[in-house]
Structure 1
Amino acid sequence: MKRLAIIGECMIELSGSPFGAMQQTYGGDSLNTAVYLARTAGKSVNIDYVSALGTDAISEGMLNRWQAEGVNTRYVLKDVTRQPGLYLIQLDTQGERTFLYWRNQSAARYLLQHNEFPLVADHLSEVDMVYVSGISLAILPAADRQQLVDLLQTLASKGVEIAFDSNYRPALWQDAQEARDCYQQILTYTDLALVTDDDEATLWGDTSSQQIMLRLQKSGVKQVVLKMGEIGCLYTDFNSETPELIKTTPVTNVIDTTSAGDSFNAGFLAGYLTDKSPRESALQGHQLAAIVIQHKGAIIPTSATESIDYNATNNSNKETTQ
């Protein structure tokens, strides 16, 4: 069984209309991936979520629900002085969303300053892979962010695989150059980059998939999954393989795209960590994301994902690109 540690933040999620009806749940890019990975991989992958929460009732409720999903929470640290952050999702008629956040004093933001974090850092050297996102990094104070970047480099030097989802959110960074400098450090030792064409264009100014792939190859990344929305994804192993376009079937009934990329990452990682081919892994990601975006909220009901056939393949979707 492979062991994966996912570092990040989960917040209280409110979804609805301002001063109207609101639904309360929870979400966060890394936690979304952890939950959907647990649902997809089952007991085939050991998943540790690494974060911090408070000691309040909502924090306890979150922990109980994550454990029920099959996510291990022994490395979710408890901060007696802080609580989870909060965000509000507003949806338009096409299912696209806008967000409002209250997270500057969240417990997860100060994860690395927790007196028990050194014990967590020691544990990370024992896992097979550590997964971190751009948001996981962006929320941290600058000194803590650099500490985490250095820790990841140390883990990589010890043979731990590093998976990085760039997930660029401009509002969380001082400016684009700060994000680029941070990302560039991580990309030099990233084994698997899970990136999105829109984010790459916004942050780096790339104008084509070829330009994105060339830049990432020069950065030192070993493998890349470039997510391209309804087109599908482009997978490349820079050591051996020709880029492969793995198409998805467009969804006509899009309700909420909140966890589209997070759930794709989960499906892909579930395949990757259980030795499925990149193509099979990507198809899992496509299948899962297609279901998720037809429901409201970051974490959809378990019943909605139980019927997915993760062994399905579609050879007609295979294309190569030079």
Structure 2
Amino acid sequence: MKHIAIIGECMIELNGKPFGAMQQTFGGDTLNAAVYLCRGQEANLNGEAIQVSYVTALGSDPISKGMLSRWENEGISTQWVLEDDTRTPGLYLIQLDDQGERTFLYWRNQSAAKYLLQHPNFGLLKQALNQVDMVFISGISLAILPEEDRWALIHWLHQLKEHNVEIAFDSNFRPALWPQDQHHTVREFYQALYAITDFALVTFDDEQLIWGDNTPTQTLQRLATDGVKKCIIKLGAEGCLVQDFTTDFPPQSVPTQKIDAVVDTTSAGDSFNGGFLSAYLCGEDLITACQRGNTLAGTVIQHQGAIIPKALTQAALGII
């Protein structure tokens, strides 16, 4: 059984109209990926299971405990979720206007996940992760941390790599989480990460914004130079571009089906990541794994919310 540890932050989500009806749920890029990874592995024809562990910090409050219960119901292992008695999860509000347009407000500066690396039990967690097959983080996992903890996280990933743990990274760039001189700072941290990244799962729009790349091919060339071993570039409606730099094969395009009724693209990249990893970790080739990622993403964007009902993903993957 392959074991993947996914490091990040999950926040409380309030969704609705200001001072009106609000729906409470939860969400976060890496947590969304973990959910879709657990769901996607049900489509593995060889029946091979993947252990999915989420690594974060939550509070000891009822909402934190409720989130843990929901994650476990999805099949996510919460053994490495640290409890912080002094903090709570972050919160974000999605405001909808009369035309259905969304704006976001965040309260996460004192969230438990932000101080994960400073938790008294983090040292024990570091040792435990030496035994997993893959660690997956995103640009948000990195950006929410204090600067000194960002470098500490990268140093820790170096140590994991020395224990033959595969490192997967999605650049997932959120400008609001970085300082005003963000491009210089982001590039410095991202280059340090790409140097140890076995698998980059990036979105071209993000890479273009940070580096000024003109084409996905230029992005591939830069990532190969930075040290990335394998790369998926997500291209939205055009599908994705995949290349294994450890071989002589050229990049391959993996198209996706056209979706006419796009409702909500919030978790498109996250669901792709989960679907892709659910196939890749059980031994499928890169093209097959990309196709599963495309299928899940194409299903998710046709429905409201980052985490859609499980039955919809099962139907898309032919499980039911």
Measured against the shorter chain, the TM-score band is over 0.9
Residue matched to 1:109: 114
The 8 Å contact of residues 284 and 310 in structure 1, kept in 2 or not, is answered as no
Deviates more, 1:273-282 or 1:97-106: 97-106
Cα offset for 1:255? 1.2
Residue matched to 2:75: 70
Amino acid corresponding to residue 156 of structure 1 in structure 2:
K
Q: Do residues 211 (structure 1) and 218 (structure 2) align?
A: yes
Cα offset for 1:19? 2.7
Cα offset for 1:158? 1.8
Residue matched to 1:275: 283
Residue matched to 1:186: 193
Deviates more, 1:233-242 or 1:300-309: 300-309
Amino acid corresponding to residue 270 of structure 2 in structure 1:
D
The 8 Å contact of residues 97 and 258 in structure 1, kept in 2 or not, is answered as no
Distance in 2, matches of 1:90 and 1:166, equals 26
Deviations 1:48-100 (A, max 9, x none): 10000001110000000000000000100000010000112246899875422
Distance in 2, matches of 1:237 and 1:300, equals 31
Residue matched to 1:153: 158
Q: Do residues 228 (structure 1) and 235 (structure 2) align?
A: yes
Residue matched to 1:166: 171
Residue matched to 1:29: 29
Change in 2 beyond 3 A, CA 1:218/1:310? farther
Residue matched to 2:206: 199
Residue matched to 1:142: 147
Deviates more, 1:183-192 or 1:288-297: 288-297
Deviates more, 1:177-186 or 1:87-96: 87-96
The 8 Å contact of residues 8 and 136 in structure 1, kept in 2 or not, is answered as yes
TM-score, normalised with respect to structure 1: 0.93
- Partner SS for 1:163: strand
Deviates more, 1:91-100 or 1:298-307: 91-100
Q: Which of 294, 298, 315 lines up with 1:307 in the alignment?
A: 315
Amino acid corresponding to residue 26 of structure 1 in structure 2:
F
Q: Do residues 59 (structure 1) and 64 (structure 2) align?
A: yes
- Partner SS for 1:125: helix
Q: Do residues 284 (structure 1) and 320 (structure 2) align?
A: no
Cα offset for 1:301? 1.2
Change in 2 beyond 3 A, CA 1:94/1:161? farther
Distance in 1, matches of 2:258 and 2:34, equals 25
The 8 Å contact of residues 248 and 286 in structure 1, kept in 2 or not, is answered as yes
Distance in 2, matches of 1:238 and 1:90, equals 43
Change in 2 beyond 3 A, CA 1:95/1:35? farther
Q: Do residues 237 (structure 1) and 253 (structure 2) align?
A: no
Amino acid corresponding to residue 114 of structure 1 in structure 2:
H
Residue matched to 2:264: 256
Distance in 1, matches of 2:290 and 2:111, equals 33
Distance in 1, matches of 2:221 and 2:103, equals 31
The 8 Å contact of residues 63 and 73 in structure 1, kept in 2 or not, is answered as yes
- Partner SS for 2:131: coil
Q: Do residues 47 (structure 1) and 55 (structure 2) align?
A: no
Unmatched 5+ residue regions in structure 1?
A: 312-322
Distance in 2, matches of 1:208 and 1:258, equals 24
Q: Do residues 265 (structure 1) and 270 (structure 2) align?
A: no
TM-score, normalised with respect to structure 2: 0.94
Amino acid corresponding to residue 3 of structure 1 in structure 2:
H
Distance in 1, matches of 2:96 and 2:202, equals 24
The alignment covers a number of residue pairs equal to 311
Distance in 2, matches of 1:230 and 1:302, equals 23
Distance in 2, matches of 1:94 and 1:2, equals 45
Residue matched to 2:45: none
- Partner SS for 1:297: coil
Q: Do residues 123 (structure 1) and 120 (structure 2) align?
A: no
Change in 2 beyond 3 A, CA 1:278/1:97? farther
The 8 Å contact of residues 95 and 256 in structure 1, kept in 2 or not, is answered as no
Change in 2 beyond 3 A, CA 1:167/1:95? farther
The 8 Å contact of residues 260 and 289 in structure 1, kept in 2 or not, is answered as yes
Cα offset for 1:310? 6.0
Would you identify which runs of 4 or more consecutive aligned residues in structure 1 move more than 3 Å? 90-98
Unmatched 5+ residue regions in structure 2?
A: 43-47
Amino acid corresponding to residue 119 of structure 1 in structure 2:
L
- Partner SS for 2:88: coil
Distance in 2, matches of 1:281 and 1:104, equals 36
Change in 2 beyond 3 A, CA 1:97/1:274? farther
